[in-house]
Every structure is written in structure tokens, then in C-alpha cells.
């Protein structure tokens, strides 16, 4: 019995991802790990940039190597340029040049504007916006033969939600930053796109018991369920692949239809 890729070689050829090296921020757990594993399934070598959680990073690297690709993790706070520079220089030595960057790491504060402390505001803006700026500029300086950058924003970037006082504005800024990067770096052969997920939870978890308020909101989505990390990861792979070679400066909203109709659906 022939393997899937032997029977359908165009599946891998179309993606054009095999053998590339990707850097994923915050890629040791959650959505970032699903993105790393899905890219690895297309033959992409993976560098994870993690802040402090060495244990989950080690487990993630074991999983990725088990998929047959090269993988490693590097510790850095993505908002501190010196740490990011050192990590990227080392990744270039160990895994070769980075051709794909996924800015996945982020932070949230769950508060309305009048309750937000300055510390919360700065932490959320720092992690989402400044981190994306610092990591991307350091990676792009070293992308000698073009590449792709994918920024993870969120549905909150495109419409306002209660308690998203800092998160919404920080994610909305990523939309404009994505367009600015796309414009400035198109001559370098670099495409820059973004993915804006709606609520994402693992399909096999009982998150509805832990988060009844979110479950009630999700029930009002046109598709009436949360997205899975794998669904977001496949969208990232599409945008990173040669199937999306004429797309740059665009955000793909992956939210079960929420931003266009949330409040109209019963």
C-alpha cells in the first residue's frame, strides 16, 4: 500500500514547505505547539522561542523530533532585543537560516479600560505588539532569500469585545503592522500575513464546564462551536505555503463566522 505522499505527491509539492526552517514564538504549548506540529507534518524544521517554561519546551521538542524533523528550543523574552538577537544568531548556526516566522506568543489581561492598571496595559501591548516588532525585525534582517511572516492576532483585532481593553487595541495594531511589513518587505521577497482566531479550545477537552460564559458565547456563533488549535494551524500552513504565493498584507479571520454576525445569531 503506497503512503499518502507517494500517492498524492502534489500535496507536499504544492505546499513547498518541506525542508524549510520555521521560528515559532511561544511555540511550546497551546496554539503555538499545534502550529509547530502541523508545520512539522509538512517536513518543516522547527525552532521554538520560549520565555521560561523549559519543561514544556523540552516535551515539545521531543514530540517534534518524533515527527522526523530537526527541532530545538531557545530561551528569550521576545520583548528584549539583545536576548532575541542572541537566540536567532544561534538558531541560524544550528538549524540554518529562518525562512518562516510565526509570531504566536501573546498575552491578555481580561479587563475593561477603567479597570486596567498601567502595568497590565504595558504587559499586553509589550507581549503582543512590541514582541512582534522586535522578533520580526531581527529575523527579517537575516532573511537573505525571502520568506514568510505570519502574525497571530485575534477576532478582537477586528471588532470590540467586553473586557478586551488592552488586548483588542494591541491586536488591532498587529493588523496595521502586518500591512506595513508587507509593504516594506515585498521588494525583499518576503510575504507577511496574519491569522485572527476566534475562540480556540482543544476538541477533546471539557472547557465548557470551566468557562460557561465563553461556552454561551460560542453557542451563538454561526458554526456553534469553538475552533480547534489544528484548524488555526492549518490556516497558518496555507498562508505559509506556495499555495498562498500571491497573498500578502492580509489577515484571515478564522472564527466560525463570529465577527460578521455574532450579535445577530440566536
Ligand X SMILES: NC(=O)c1ccc[n+]([C@@H]2O[C@H](COP(=O)([O-])OP(=O)(O)OC[C@H]3O[C@@H](n4cnc5c(N)ncnc54)[C@H](OP(=O)(O)O)[C@@H]3O)[C@@H](O)[C@H]2O)c1
Question: Among all residues, which ones are annotated catalytic?
Answer: 167
Q: Does 231 bind ligand X (CB under 6 A)?
A: no
Task: Specify the residue, 87 or 190, whose C-beta has the smaller distance to ligand X.
Answer: 87
Distances in whole angstroms, Cα of residue 170 to Cα of each of 28, 103, 106, 152, 240: 23, 14, 10, 12, 23
Shortest reach from residue 42's CB to ligand X, in Å: 20
Whether the CB-CB separation of 24 and 105 falls below 8 Å is answered with no
Q: Does 38 bind ligand X (CB under 6 A)?
A: no
Half-sphere exposure of 222 (CA within 13 A, CB side): 11
Shortest reach from residue 7's CB to ligand X, in Å: 34
46-65 residues near ligand X, rule: CB under 6 A: 51-53
Distances in whole angstroms, Cα of residue 35 to Cα of each of 99, 102, 189, 237, 246: 15, 9, 23, 8, 22
Q: Does 79 bind ligand X (CB under 6 A)?
A: yes
Task: Specify the residue, 154 or 165, whose C-beta has the smaller distance to ligand X.
Answer: 154
Shortest reach from residue 145's CB to ligand X, in Å: 27
Q: Does 157 bind ligand X (CB under 6 A)?
A: no
Task: Specify the residue, 41 or 231, whose C-beta has the smaller distance to ligand X.
Answer: 231
82-141 residues near ligand X, rule: CB under 6 A: 104-107, 127, 131
- What lies within 8 Å, CB to CB, of 75 at 6+ separation is 50, 51, 52, 54, 57, 83, 87
Max CA distance (Å), the chain: 63
Distance CA 128, CA 78 (A): 10
Q: Does 30 bind ligand X (CB under 6 A)?
A: yes
Q: Does 170 bind ligand X (CB under 6 A)?
A: no
Applying CB under 6 A, what is the total number of residues that bind ligand X?
A: 24
Of 213, 109, 248, 119, nearest to 166 by C-alpha is: 109
Beta bridge partners of 147: 190
Shortest reach from residue 91's CB to ligand X, in Å: 14
Interface ranges with ligand X (CB under 6 A): 25-26, 28-32, 51-53, 77-79, 104-107, 127, 131, 152, 154, 197, 199-200
Amino acid at each position: 500500500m503506497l503512503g499518502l505522499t507517494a500517492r498524492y505527491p502534489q500535496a507536499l509539492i504544492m505546499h513547498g514547505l518541506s525542508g524549510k526552517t520555521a521560528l515559532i514564538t511561544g511555540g511550546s504549548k497551546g496554539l503555538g505547539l499545534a502550529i509547530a506540529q502541523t508545520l512539522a507534518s509538512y517536513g518543516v524544521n522547527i525552532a521554538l522561542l520560549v520565555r521560561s517554561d523549559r519543561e514544556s519546551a523540552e516535551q515539545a521538542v521531543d514530540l517534534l523530533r518524533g515527527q522526523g524533523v530537526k527541532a530545538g528550543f531557545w530561551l528569550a523574552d521576545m520583548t528584549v532585543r539583545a536576548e532575541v538577537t542572541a537566540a536567532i544568531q544561534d538558531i541560524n548556526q544550528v538549524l540554518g537560516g529562518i525562512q518562516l516566522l510565526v509570531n504566536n506568543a501573546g498575552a491578555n489581561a481580561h479587563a475593561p479600560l477603567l479597570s486596567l492598571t498601567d502595568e497590565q496595559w504595558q504587559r499586553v501591548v509589550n507581549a503582543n505588539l512590541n514582541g512582534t516588532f522586535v522578533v520580526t525585525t531581527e529575523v527579517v534582517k537575516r532573511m537573505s532569500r525571502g520568506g514568510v511572516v505570519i502574525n497571530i492576532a485575534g477576532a478582537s483585532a477586528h471588532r470590540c469585545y467586553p473586557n478586551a481593553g488592552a488586548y483588542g487595541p494591541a491586536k488591532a495594531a498587529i493588523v496595521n503592522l502586518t500591512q506595513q511589513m508587507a509593504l516594506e518587505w515585498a521588494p525583499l521577497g518576503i510575504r507577511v500575513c496574519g491569522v485572527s482566531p476566534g475562540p480556540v479550545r482543544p476538541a477533546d477537552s471539557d472547557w465548557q464546564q470551566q468557562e460557561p460564559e465563553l461556552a454561551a458565547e460560542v453557542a451563538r456563533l454561526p458554526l456553534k462551536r469553538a475552533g480547534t488549535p489544528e484548524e488555526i494551524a492549518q490556516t497558518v500552513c496555507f498562508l505559509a505555503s506556495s499555495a498562498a504565493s500571491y497573498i500578502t498584507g492580509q489577515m484571515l479571520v478564522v472564527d466560525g463566522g463570529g465577527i460578521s454576525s455574532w450579535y445577530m445569531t440566536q
